[in-house]
């Protein structure tokens, strides 16, 4: 494993994203919808840096089959509990990879008739993108590799790391 993104750089990017969100939503109360499980550390740090009132909810989706390759079938296992009708929504992800899960989630959220839907992610991974999705706020772009740490996991391991590493997976 090689250290890919140091803790200090992550903190700087989280603050930058938070400032951008606070500036854009000065006179509003956005609803941030975190995609569990990987987003919990990023979202927690992000909301502490956002200087405006906001609401938080979570969803959980499953799309991975075996060996961390998407099965293609997306299942919503925890839905939004807050009413988002007529409200600005920001979907917050840890990493956007193929875009398939996020595309499904955006359609689902838009079905609840929010005022707007924006996308925020810590990591925008370009290597395997299948669905193009406009990302409004992001911390880092990476081209390839499997990353862990700062909430990102491999078989529920490595989430606790305060930095992000590129992990070599051997079959």
Catalytic amino acids? 97
CA distances from 117 to 33, 55, 66, 166 (A): 10, 14, 31, 30
Q: E strands of the chain, at which residues?
A: 2-5, 31-36, 55-64, 70-78, 88-96, 116-125, 137-142, 146-148, 164-167
| Helices assigned H by DSSP within the chain | 7-24, 40-49, 100-110
In which region does residue 45 sit, left (phi positive, over 0), alpha (psi from -120 to 50) or beta (all else)? alpha
């Amino acid at each position: 494993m090689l250290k890919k993104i140091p803790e200090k750089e992550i903190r700087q990017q989280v603050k930058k994203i938070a400032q951008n969100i606070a500036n854009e939503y000065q006179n509003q109360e956005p609803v941030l919808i975190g995609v569990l499980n990987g987003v919990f550390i990023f979202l927690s740090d992000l909301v502490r840096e956002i200087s405006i009132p906001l609401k938080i909810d979570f969803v959980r989706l499953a799309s991975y089959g075996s060996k961390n390759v998407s099965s293609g079938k997306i299942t919503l296992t925890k839905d939004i509990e807050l009413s988002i009708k007529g409200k600005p929504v920001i979907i917050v992800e840890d990493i956007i990879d193929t875009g398939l899960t996020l595309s499904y989630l955006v359609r689902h959220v838009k079905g609840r008739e929010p005022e707007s839907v924006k996308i925020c992610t810590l990591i925008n991974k370009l290597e395997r993108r299948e669905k193009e999705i406009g990302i409004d706020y992001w911390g880092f772009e990476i081209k390839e590799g499997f990353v862990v740490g700062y909430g990102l996991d491999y078989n529920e391991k490595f989430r606790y790391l305060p930095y992000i590493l590129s992990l070599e997976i051997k079959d």
